[in-house]
Amino acid sequence: MTFLSIQARRTIRAHFHFLKKRQVSTESVEQGKRWAAIKAIRHVIDSQPSVIGLGSGTTIVYAIDELKKHKIAQDVVCIPTSFQTRQLILANNLKLGSLEQYPRIDVTVDGADEIDPKLNAIKGGGACLFQERLVAKASRRFVLVADERKRSSQLGTKWKRGVPVEVVPMALSPIQYTLEEMFPDALIRLRISQSSDKAGPVVTDNGNFILDCHFGPIQNPDLLYKEIKSLTGVLDVGLFCNMADTAYIGHLESDSGDVLSVSDLIKQ
């Protein structure tokens, strides 16, 4: 069994377990994610990019699987947003690059935990938010892929695990205290590892902790991002506002989906 098989299966198996508890059809969810990833990659490679950023999570497994089927995969450089994505790139014999080598990326494809009508998103459910933002900010285009469960009329209404805030360990208690003062109605909790092999808090690739902040429906995600990001000790906040230009949303009950773009929103 290849490393890719182990890595991909572990990621998707954990996600299947979560879905089972939620009583959601895993087959239909995976179909939606697969559609979004395949459509996004096919449209992206039409522009003949030289450098592609690849995000984190289960949907990106499908994106990488689609990318390697095309001739462009022999030449395009792939920039990962996490250690897991880095290993998937290598295991699929794609060209691995870094921001040090390629400070400008043509397009980045990444997943999301929730997407609103303006293509603002909550990201960071996999604790890779800072590196995801770094790669997205270095990109000329930023494309989101997700199944239709992630589409909502307002951030904070469907994603119930909170907005992730990455905090340096030394600042954990002061930041949690400050957030609880700033948002007395919010539930602020340190993210604890759910793995049976590891006890204690989730540690990011950067060696930091995650505070999951449950605000309920978010009226102004951009303002909320700026307020929290301004706190000393906060590395990043999982609100990605005014960044994505396109979102591919796969339907659950059919092999189809929607393509949403900022340009269409502006025309409206």
State the pairing for strand pair 114-115/51-54.
unpaired
Torsion of CA 113, 6, 252, 148, to 10 degrees: 10
Instruction: Report the alpha-carbon distance of residue 82 to residue 90 in Å, rounded.
Output: 13
Q: Are 63 and 40 in contact (CB under 8 A)?
A: yes
Q: Is 132 a catalytic residue?
A: yes
Q: What is the DSSP string of 180-195?
A: HHH-TTSEEEE-B---
Encoded amino acid at 161, one letter: R
Q: Are 85 and 56 in contact (CB under 8 A)?
A: yes
* Given 132, 148, 166, 181, the catalytic residue: 132
CA–CA separation, 83 and 89 (whole Å): 10
Q: How far is Cα 62 from Cα 58, in angstroms, rounded to an integer?
A: 7
The length of the chain, given as a count of residues: 268
User: What CA–CA distances, in Å, run from 155 to 11, 15, 161, 207, 214?
Assistant: 25, 21, 12, 27, 11
Q: How far apart are CA 203 and CA 197, in angstroms?
A: 14
Residue 250 backbone dihedrals phi, psi, to 5 degrees = -85, 135
Give phi and psi for 151, each to the nearest 5.
-90, 130
Orientation angle between helical segments 3-22 and 58-67, nearest 10 degrees: 140
Q: Which residues form the catalytic set?
A: 132
